[in-house]
Structure 1
Amino acid sequence: MKKVAVIGGGTMGNGIAHVFAMNDIPVTLIETKQEFADRALNSIEKNLDRMVKKEKIDEGRKVATLNNISVELELVKGVKDVDLVIEAVPENYDLKKKVFETVDKAAPDHAILASNTSSISITKLAAVTSRPEKFIGMHFFNPVPVMKLVEIVRGLETDDDTYDVIEKTSKLLAKVPVPVNDFPGFVSNRVLMPMINEAIFCVQEGVATAEHVDEVMKLGMAHPMGPLRLADFIGLDVCLDILNVLYDGFKDPKYRPAALLVKMVDAGKLGDKTGQGFFNYN
């Protein structure tokens, strides 16, 4: 990989840009507004400062990492000379479809197109492009600089060469790539989200408080973080989006989102990002 474009500078996007840049791969971070780009760069710099403080990297590596990142506010210009495009926009099919329709026309013919989606069909996204064989899922986990796992999701037409390149690239980033086939939620969220949803049902039905549900799971099941604290960390809106994808994809009532989750998202209580979810962060 000589150059990579990351579309979206939110929590996942800036983390993905961070790990590529720290491994000496130039990154173009594409955002829609300068203020969003500045916020992303600020987050990356803060995370690098933490790594310097913990003596995981030195000041020179921090400076080199930041120098490996450039910002572009025009999508077409941002992908015109790259080898890999990774989309990290919100978990909405119509938005991702629009992005990939534009990227497919603007990116070089040899470029691989990847989505960081956590649940949306890779095959369905690939179908909006003229290169489904070069389309793949590259699902990182939050916080990206820390978490080792990358789910590599093969669509129906993803070819072996594309998979091999993404597997090698993941290892170059010091990640552990795990191959997964294209089903709603892949492996991680197909297993995780029903657990989070059931924990929410426990609160909704008065079985226990959020604090006590999490305490049971931490002390009884050795989870480092309770499911409701994890839901707040992920974002309750993201959890709801993923559960809706699972519910629509499988048509199975076991994936039906809890009414309490819907109500909290409607109220704007999304977890860490808003300061209040199942727990208060203010």
Structure 2
Amino acid sequence: MEIRVLRYFLTVAREGSITGAAEFLHVTQPTLSRQLKDLEQELGKKFFIRSNHSSVLTDEGMLLRKRAEEIVDMVDKLEEEFSSMEETISGDVYIGGGETEAMKHIAQAVKDLQLRNPNIRYHLYSGNEDDVTDRLDRGLLDFGILIEPANLSKYNYVDIPAKDVWGVVMRKDSPLALKDTIQATDLLSVPVICSRQAMKQTFSKNEFADWFGEDFDKLNVVTTYNLAYNAAIMVEEGIGYAVVLDKIVNTSSDSNLCFRPLEPRLESGLNIVWKKHQVFSSAADIFLKEINAKFTN
């Protein structure tokens, strides 16, 4: 018994005639009549009392109509469910990056995508460039957010439409808090807290070291950090002055800390990167499409 033939049967039952059903189904009357005759022979029952102008259901036909409607409805529902499964994207997207306000742009993309694909889950990993690229290379992350300048030779990337501003976080009762901006000479006379990335010896690609100039080695670096939150705790305890990106540390009116930008102004661009020739999951692939649509238009 074919679902198609059951649909033919239901159409004849609804239309009340072979002629009307054939017109509705866009098949010839002989073809439709033959299909119904084959169905009756298959089940060994007569389903219609036929005349020149109508086809009336027999008692057996009434029973078949009820069961056929149930079967066709179930098949339609199953097809719809499988179709829905194909249209619904689910899975996990793994994103790594340093502490940066640019994460707001990623969050906005996630929010918009979540409205259309609520079954995608996002996993965030915080770390510096070395941490993130190591996990990217080992396949533990789908995407990484890197602060320029970064080595992008192994990756495809999209520029994030944001700039991070470098500066110094200090206690509000610190002498340097009286200044509007911080110059390199100001940092030579105070204990400094720097990110481990800023202290890397490959200074040719270190924006902070380039900004500071030839006296970079004279800095009194008393602490290095990986997360700015921990650096802020050290600053609050009076350990030193932390070189950080703006808007990462709480410097609101309720905080004991303040931020002063570097002079001359130092800004860093940002990229979201992924491995070349990466084979993405369906979830990561649709996230990439969202990022491209938002950031490259």
- Please classify the TM superposition score into its range, dividing by the shorter chain length: under 0.3
**Relative CO higher for 1 or 2, CA cutoff 8 Å, sep ≥ 6?**
2
Please report the TM-score for the alignment, with normalisation by the length of structure 1.
0.26
Please report the TM-score for the alignment, with normalisation by the length of structure 2.
0.25
Larger radius of gyration: 2
Higher share in helix: 1
